[in-house]
Amino acid sequence: NAGVTQTPKFQVLKTGQSMTLQCAQDMNHNSMYWYRQDPGMGLRLIYYSASEGTTDKGEVPNGYNVSRLNKREFSLRLESAAPSQTSVYFCASSKGLQGARADTQYFGPGTRLTVL
Amino acid sequence: QQPVQSPQAVILREGEDAVINCSSSKALYSVHWYRQKHGEAPVFLMILLKGGEQKGHEKISASFNEKKQQSSLYLTASQLSYSGTYFCGTERGAAGNKLTFGGGTRVLVKP
């Protein structure tokens, strides 16, 4: 099992450009998450998907959109990148059985994004 | 609201002990602990639930004080591999596994 994979690993954008970060998991998990981590700081939840076909906002959703393409894949889109979106982006997944709480989250390796 | 972790950083010699604390002003359902090494993804260590249940790493010790809404992670007889940044993530009752992470505690274990 590869676990949670993310592409690309690194990306440099100019202000105003758009891009999509891809995330896939092969653990048959129901729930998936997108976080950002700024230098020296903790993780902040951008969006999450409790199950296929559902998405919901986290702490810092402004400037982002998501798509839960199927059970395996959850993408994050920046429509018009800004320097404030320079960060490391982590995708995570959990089993997410219906009503699940206290569920272990498994993280991907991250995408390091710089917006100039 | 973000949980508060203390200390922000700690330096240990191999074999020494340390305690990392995570405090919340809100009632919690569970506290999750992760360790992140530089340039890598966070790795799951442990979950503590209200009511006393724990899930996770057999070699890691932690506690959850429901009255104080505080969790503590105990690094006992530290090893070099314990170095990294430790994050707590808190889950509130109706959150559905949505975690709010603290700012992290940097741990450096020296030989």
What is the DSSP code (8-state) at residue A50? Answer: S
Residue A73 has what pLDDT? 97
* For residue B111, cis peptide bond before it (omega within 30 degrees of 0): no
Residues from chain B contacting residue A101 (CB–CB below 8 Å) = 29-30, 91, 95-97
Overall size of chain A counted in residues: 116
Average pLDDT of chain B to the nearest whole number: 90
- Does residue A53 contact residue A39 with C-beta atoms inside 8 Å? no
Contact A79, A16 (CB under 8 A): no
CA distance to partner chain B, nearest, from residue A53 (Å) = 16
**Chain B residues inside the 8 Å CB shell of A42:** 2, 87, 101-104
The two tokens of residue B13 are 């010699």
Location of structure tokens 């922000």: B8
pLDDT grade for A99, boundaries at 50, 70 and 90 = low
Q: What pLDDT, in 10s, does the model give residues A43-69?
A: 999 999 988 888 999 999 999 999 998
Query: How many C-beta neighbours within 10 Å does residue A100 have?
Result: 14
A9 at B interface, C-beta within 8 A:
no
Structure-model confidence comparison of residues A108 and A101, the more confident one: A108
User: Is A102's CB within 8 Å of B89's CB?
Assistant: no
Task: Chain B: give the shortest CA distance to residue A107, in Å.
Answer: 6
Length reported for chain B: 111
Answer whether residue A78 shows pLDDT above 70. Answer: yes
Q: Which structure tokens are listed for B75?
A: 């690094």
State how far residue A63 is from chain B, nearest Cα, in angstroms: 20
The one-letter amino acid code at A37 reads Q
Which residues 15-74 of A are in CB contact (within 8 Å) with B?
A: 31, 40-45, 48, 50, 58-59
Instruction: List, as one string, the DSSP characters of B72-98.
Output: EEEE-S--GGG-EEEEEEEE-TTSSS-
pLDDT at B4 over 70: yes
**CA A20/CA A75 separation, integer angstroms:** 7
Cα distance between residue A12 and residue A17, in whole Å:
10
In this prediction, residue A53 carries a pLDDT of: 87
Q: What is the pLDDT of residue B103?
A: 94
pLDDT at B55: 76
Q: What is the mean pLDDT of residues B74-79?
A: 92
Q: What is the distance between the alpha carbons of residues B37 and B25, in angstroms, rounded to a whole number?
A: 28
Identify the band that residue B92 occupies on the pLDDT scale cut at 50, 70 and 90.
confident
pLDDT of residue A68: 94
Give the pLDDT confidence of B5-32 residue by residue, as tens digits: 999 999 999 999 999 999 999 888 899 9
